[in-house]
Amino acid sequence: MFFIHDDILSQKELLWIYHKLINSSSWHLSRTSSNKSLEANSFNSFPGMIIEQNDEIIEEYLSGYFKSIIFRIQRITKKKHSVDLPDKIIRVNLGAKSSLSKTNFHRDHQNEDHWTILGFLNPIWNSKNGGQFLIEDEKIDYLPGRFIVFKSNLEHNGGYVNNENLNYWRITLNIILGN
């Protein structure tokens, strides 16, 4: 089960947050979607930023901004689908991918009561560049400002960028909520 929410962020807000993020000095170059060792993932990593994790806020300003997005998504999910998303933030991370960034199918969390909110933060994106999101047997297009809400224990993959000449990063927000 998953829900797609479009138009959560305006084009102006997407442009603002994208530039705020790419100019941040908080990026780490060795994020992965796997629990394997860093050595095993050294060539399958991508830039990432930890905003909040395990009750620790790393980036206070961005944590507050993304919390406001969580409130929006919770309200819309309740209204449209009659689903109450949990309130507790397990983690808030960002990932940036290029054509060199490959990921594997994975689960964000094993707990079946946890939910993932995945947000596409690019102000522009051409579907010819790839980047589709795969959740089990479904393929979901990467559209600017799109948010996907799904159970964190479902297998998924962020897909990859297939344009080797792309001169900007595809940035994705990953939020896990639990009880």
Give per-residue pLDDT as tens, 151-170. Answer: 999 999 887 788 888 888 88
For residues 4 and 147, give the distance between their C-alpha atoms in angstroms, rounded to a whole number: 6
User: Does 36 reside within a domain?
Assistant: no
What is the CATH number for 161? Answer: 2.60.120.620
For residue 170, what are the β-bridge partners? Answer: 97
User: Does 73 reside within a domain?
Assistant: yes
Report pTM: 0.89
Question: What mean pLDDT value characterizes the chain?
Answer: 88
The number of domains in the chain is 1
Give per-residue pLDDT as tens, 98-152. Answer: 776 667 788 999 999 999 999 999 999 988 888 889 998 899 999 999 999 999 9
For residues 107 and 130, give the distance between their C-alpha atoms in angstroms, rounded to a whole number: 21
User: Does 107 reside within a domain?
Assistant: yes
Range of the domain at 21: 2-31+44-140+147-168
